[in-house]
Each structure stands twice: as C-alpha cells, then as structure tokens.
Structure 1
C-alpha cells in the first residue's frame, strides 16, 4: 500500500469515526442521556420512553435490507449521504418537537437514517481496505465513544442551565454537527474500486446461500443479543443512576468516562483480533461485558455504577468491532457487504425489542434492576454462543496481498 493509500485509510477512518458520532451516538445512544430531561419536558413515562426507543429501532430494522439494495444500485456514497440527511432532519425535528406523538415521527427518521448510513459506510470502508477491516471498523466504531463523551458532558450542562428546554438545545447542537459531517462526507468520500483481481473476485454468492450459512447465522445471533443489551444499557443507565440517588451531573460525568474509554476500545480490540483471532477476542469481551452488566443489579451504588461503566466501556465498542469483522471472516471478499448487512439485521431486531422489554420490566416488574438482570442473563447466553463459535476463516496472506494490490491499481 503506497503513501496515498495510507493517507486514504486514515482520512476515511476519521470520517467514518465522525459519521458514527452522528448516526450512532447522536441519533441512537444520546437518547439515554437526554431521556431524564426530555421525559420531564414531554411529560412521558418510562414505558412511553421505551416505545420511543423502539420506534427508532423499528425505523432502522424496517429499512435495513432496502438500504443494502439501494447501496448496491446507487453506490455507498450516495446512500450514506441520504442517510445522514435523514438523521439531520430528525435531529432538527427533535429540537422543536411539540408533543410525544410528533416526537415519534422524528425518532423514526433517526432509525431510518441510521440504516441508510452505518452499514453502507462500513461496507465502503471494508471495500477500500479488505485486509485491515478489524482496524478500520474499530476506528469507525470508536466514534460512538467520542459521541457518548460529548453527550455526557453537554446534556447535563445544558440541563443545569435550563431544565425545561436544555434538552432541545442538545438536539439542536447535534443537528448542526450532523450537517457538518454531511458536508465533509460529500466533499471527500469516494466509492471503492468495483473491480478486484479476477481470480479472487468470483461472482457474488447468491443471497440465499449467505442467509443459510450457519456460521454467519451464528454470528448474527450473537450480534442480536448485543443489540438487545446495548440499547437497554444506553437508554436506561442514566435514569437508573439518577433513580438510585446519584446526581445528574455526576451521572453525566460517568457517561463521559464511558465515552473516553470507548474511543480506544474499538481500535485496540480490532487490532488484537486481527492478530490473535476473532473467537478468542470475542470470548474475552463478551465475558467482561456480562460481568459488567451484573454489577449494578447487586450494587446500585456509585462504586457499582463506576465499575459497571469502566468495564463495559473497555469492552463494548470492541465487541461491536469483533462481531462485525467476524461476520465477514466466514465469506469471500465479494460477499462481505451482504454478510455484514445480514448479521446487522439480527442486531436491529435486538434493538427493536430491547427498549420495549426494558420499559415493561421497569414499569411493571421490579424497576431498573429487573431490566439489567434480564440483560445479564441473555449476555450469558451470548457468551455460550461465542464459545461455540467456530474459528474464523481468514483469507490467506497471498489473497490479502492481491486484494490490496487490486484496490491500489484500480
């Protein structure tokens, strides 16, 4: 890989990171930080708050397959631009939303926009850098940590200034940043070369064969469990801490710590997995994630929440990176985008059902402890599936060199 290609890798990785800040952190994960303030502003219950999270996940899930089809016809760049535009519209709408029911529309837009952005952008990155997918996916997912850090500092600060409309200013700031990322993506990002060396770029496998691939399904089930637990944690952890007697300012600082550690989690675990294998790395990260989720169930104190956040933030973004990369290790390069899109469907289903289940458990079955206990139990199932996962089928070095050569020459 020449100097120009090295520059492209880092430039694209940074833009991927910024895109993740917008479509994952701002459009999806920041909702949990804003929720305590937004809940009071809109006068909604935790059950209704869970439904809003479900609506966003429904928008994501219902358009995910269509987004993949559109990306194959339009190209990744145009699809990503459409997605960021929809997210920006949703963020602007939430800034001025007058009621719960109107809010649902804008939350739906966030989910739809994310589906048209995240998976096509990751596929675009892998298309450019097929031999560095663990690294580039890791850098892209680290954007979620940066966004969480920013949200954790900004939202409580704005809430302390004006508890009634501070949350609206937060959505507005997110919208402005989203517009900036949209502009940068339009000016810099290009679609990857479509022609790879012929002896390694055989025709794409028929989609049904990918959908029936047991190894890909196995990874998809693991990713679905991650989807359920991660969205529950992100939406309700702030409210859980406040409900347990921790001030919103201190809770926000803990969320910010989560963001700081998450920034490094994705790239580090991605690089480790490229060296020692996905399976071993997945087992380690899944085990630590499960332990972290158990802690606040039995220790809903400042110490317990601190341990929970430190452990979780050191592993969860890495868990995303490893699962996404693993989904593409079991197929040939031409089928990587389809395999990634397919396992992301499982993740989206998990995110769809997670908030509704958690909201129901919190309101009717024992409060926040029951929701986090539920997450811990299904993470244990995820750990079992991870242990049973077969070793990844990494491409041979010669093939990797040819792929990189093909991209360089295109």
Structure 2
C-alpha cells in the first residue's frame, strides 16, 4: 500500500498511540489503578505490591538489550509483533491470576513484551521521520494518557459493577484490545528504508562511541530518573488517595483527568522542543513535574491531589517525549536506535528499583508521603541534569537523503 510521507506520519503515529496504550498504559501504568482491588482480592502487602511493579521492570531490563539485537536481525516489525503478542498473553494471564506468584509470572511477561515492542517502535518511527522526531514521539507517547484515561474510567466502573471479578474483567478487556493492535500492526507497519544504513553503522566501534558520549549518558541519567519517579507515582497514587480518605469514585475521576490532559502533553511539548530546543523544554517539564510530586505530601486533600494530577498530566508524557528525542539528538541518524536503546536501559533500571524502594518506604519508612518525598528529591537532581543538556538539530543532509529514499521506494 503506497502512501505519501505526510499520510504515513499520521497513520504510523496513530498506530504508535495504540501500541503505547497497550504496552505502556495497560501493561505498565494501569497497575496502580488495579492495585487497591488486586491487593484486597489477592491479599498482598504493600511490599509485595511494590515487587509486582518491579517485576515488569525486571522483565523489561533483562531483555531490552536482547530485543535490540533481535530487531537488528528480524527487523523492527517482527520484533514489535512478538512484543505486543507477549503483552497480550500477560494481560490475559492477569485476568485469571489466583496468587502473588502467578501474578509475578505474568507481570514478568508484560515487562518482556514491552521491551520487544516500545523501543523498536520508537526507533522505527524516528527512522521514518528524523526531522519530526519530537512530534512523532510526542504523538506516540500521548497513547499513555489515553490508556490511563480509559483505565481510570473502566477499572473503577467494573469494580463497582462486580467487586469480586471487576478488575479481572478489565484485564481481559485490555487483552482483547492488545490482540486488535497486533492485527493492525501486521497490516499497516512497514520497515523503514533507513534500516539498510542502520546495519552499516551498527558495529562495536559505533556502539562504544555512543556508550561513552557524555551527552547521551546525561540524557540516560535523566531518563532513569523519569522512569523511577513516574512508575512510583503511577503505582501508588491511587492507593495514596484512598488512604487519604478520597473516595474511590473521586480518585478514579482524577485518574481520568490525568489521562485526558496527558493525551495532549506529549505532542505539544514535542513540537515545542523541536522549535525552542530540548534543554529549555526539559528544564521546564522537569521542574513542573518535581513541583507536582511534593504537593500531595504538603496537602493530602482532594484539592492537593487534584492540583498534583493536573500539573503532572500536563508535563509527564511531554517529559517522556523530550527525553526520548534528546537521546537521539547527538548521534547520526543510523545510530539513533543504538542511542535510544542505551538510554532506555537507564530508564529500565529506574523503573526496576523505584517500586521496590517506594514499597519499602511505605511499609517501613513513613507511609506514602515518604515515597513521594523520595521521588521529589530524585526529580530535583534530574532538574540539575537538564541544565547540562545540549541542544542539537538533525543533520539536513541526513534528512534530505532519507526523503529521497522514501520518494524512490514509495
């Protein structure tokens, strides 16, 4: 199926949204919405709940490098299809889980599936549209907001409908949507013409140069902090609100508001950064995210949580998009997948250790407030790191070359 570059950008970005909905929102970020109900039904402690949140990150972290190798051999499309299929299996398993250890297994599968999906998909999009990477990554990450909105509405609704199996029906529904995305990906996604140049550049020397690049390392550290703090907030904010005597209905509505606003955060901040530069945009989003994280600690009330959700939702997916785009600003186009995979490793480490630390702090160190203070401190350090980010723009020659290749092939 032939299509011009503009149509391809929108079709691939929409498919990217759907993919993000499944592998990020459903497989990773919605766990916090499920947690109060799963914890009660499966009789989990907060430590165990934190470990389950860490489990998906363990699966992600342990396979992210292998996923990059597999993508270089199989191609991005086949790897993405494998990843979404694994995520669908994990979502299906959680619908019928009966214990902590069964949940552990399927959460691990979710993490593995995400590693085989998200990074290859972002790399594929950037290979197709290097001159618009801030925009396409922003559009793709907006799927996280859509998914959170959907989860924030559906999970509490189904739980009110049937307290015993409502959360299980929600996981099953997510699995059906995952299967739908597998079919769409198979039909529409094509390998980018830039893959041939990527192979030439994907050698040990190029990788070593990227791994030693101070600019890439700095972005990796920022991405690690983003991963750590965001997963902590996502997993425990619903429980924090309920613990602070916010009703389940009100908490679910705030999660829905988070989802609505997050939809626009990614593309808006991505487009802004393409014009104003990554450093300025990153500094603003990191500062606002840090401010939002301390608000529920100081004001654990409906108003405090509402302001926290509003500020965070206006910056969070934008922060994801900006960090991802920044990771590829300082390397050649053919080396972008390597750079993105490398900084994603930092992100996975942050998501791996975050829930375990937060779960321990909640049980042993002073409740939910201690976990959010910990996140605030991490984000303050991240703010200092954003001041060291260097602005960069994609090579005009590389852009011209890719556009010529696309016109010839399509």
Q: Same fold (TM over 0.5)?
A: yes
1:110 paired residue number: 110
2:127 paired residue number: 127
The list of structure 1 runs, each at least 4 consecutive aligned residues, that deviate by more than 4 angstroms after superposition, is none
Q: Does 1:160 align with 2:160?
A: yes
The structural deviation recorded for 1:195 is: 6.1
- Can you give the 5+ residue segments of structure 2 that lack an aligned partner in the other structure? none
The structural deviation recorded for 1:209 is: 1.3
Q: Which aligned pairs between 1:215-254 and structure 2 lie closer than 5 A? A: 215-254=215-254
Tell me the SS of whatever aligns to 1:365: helix
1:25 paired residue number: 25
Write the distance in 2 (CA, Å) between the matches of 1:276 and 1:384. Answer: 19
The structural deviation recorded for 1:397 is: 3.3
Cα deviation 1:193-218 (Å, max 9, x = unaligned): 1467x8x9974452111111111000
The structural deviation recorded for 1:4 is: 1.5
Structure 1 392/403 Cα, relative in aligned 2: closer, same or farther at 3 Å? farther
Q: Which aligned pairs between 1:172-183 and structure 2 lie closer than 5 A? A: 172-183=172-183
Write the distance in 2 (CA, Å) between the matches of 1:399 and 1:342. Answer: 22
Q: Select between 257-266 and 158-167 the one with higher mean Cα deviation.
A: 158-167
Write the distance in 1 (CA, Å) between the matches of 2:99 and 2:152. Answer: 25
Q: Does 1:408 align with 2:407?
A: yes
TM-score norm. by structure 2 comes to 0.97
2:59 paired residue number: 59
Write the distance in 1 (CA, Å) between the matches of 2:319 and 2:84. Answer: 24
Write the distance in 1 (CA, Å) between the matches of 2:244 and 2:386. Answer: 33
Structure 1 291/195 Cα, relative in aligned 2: closer, same or farther at 3 Å? closer
Q: Which aligned pairs between 1:8-47 and structure 2 lie closer than 5 A? A: 8-47=8-47
2:350 paired residue number: 350
Write the distance in 2 (CA, Å) between the matches of 1:47 and 1:263. Answer: 31
Write the distance in 2 (CA, Å) between the matches of 1:408 and 1:165. Answer: 52
Write the distance in 1 (CA, Å) between the matches of 2:398 and 2:107. Answer: 43
Write the distance in 2 (CA, Å) between the matches of 1:206 and 1:388. Answer: 23
Write the distance in 1 (CA, Å) between the matches of 2:223 and 2:99. Answer: 34
Write the distance in 1 (CA, Å) between the matches of 2:195 and 2:186. Answer: 23
RMSD across aligned positions (CA): 1.5
Tell me the SS of whatever aligns to 2:91: helix
Q: Is the 8 A contact 1:361 1:370 kept in 2?
A: yes
Name the count of aligned residue pairs.
Answer: 406
Tell me the SS of whatever aligns to 1:206: helix
Q: Does 1:308 align with 2:288?
A: no
Structure 1 65/90 Cα, relative in aligned 2: closer, same or farther at 3 Å? same
- Can you give the 5+ residue segments of structure 1 that lack an aligned partner in the other structure? none
TM-score norm. by structure 1 comes to 0.97
Write the distance in 2 (CA, Å) between the matches of 1:291 and 1:87. Answer: 33
1:332 paired residue number: 332
Q: Is the 8 A contact 1:130 1:404 kept in 2?
A: no
Q: Select between 66-75 and 398-407 the one with higher mean Cα deviation.
A: 398-407
Structure 1 275/160 Cα, relative in aligned 2: closer, same or farther at 3 Å? same
Q: Is the 8 A contact 1:272 1:281 kept in 2?
A: yes
Structure 1 370/215 Cα, relative in aligned 2: closer, same or farther at 3 Å? same
2:71 paired residue number: 71
Structure 1 212/110 Cα, relative in aligned 2: closer, same or farther at 3 Å? same
Write the distance in 2 (CA, Å) between the matches of 1:44 and 1:203. Answer: 48
The structural deviation recorded for 1:398 is: 4.4
Tell me the SS of whatever aligns to 2:328: helix
Tell me the SS of whatever aligns to 1:329: coil
The structural deviation recorded for 1:267 is: 0.3
Q: Is the 8 A contact 1:83 1:112 kept in 2?
A: yes
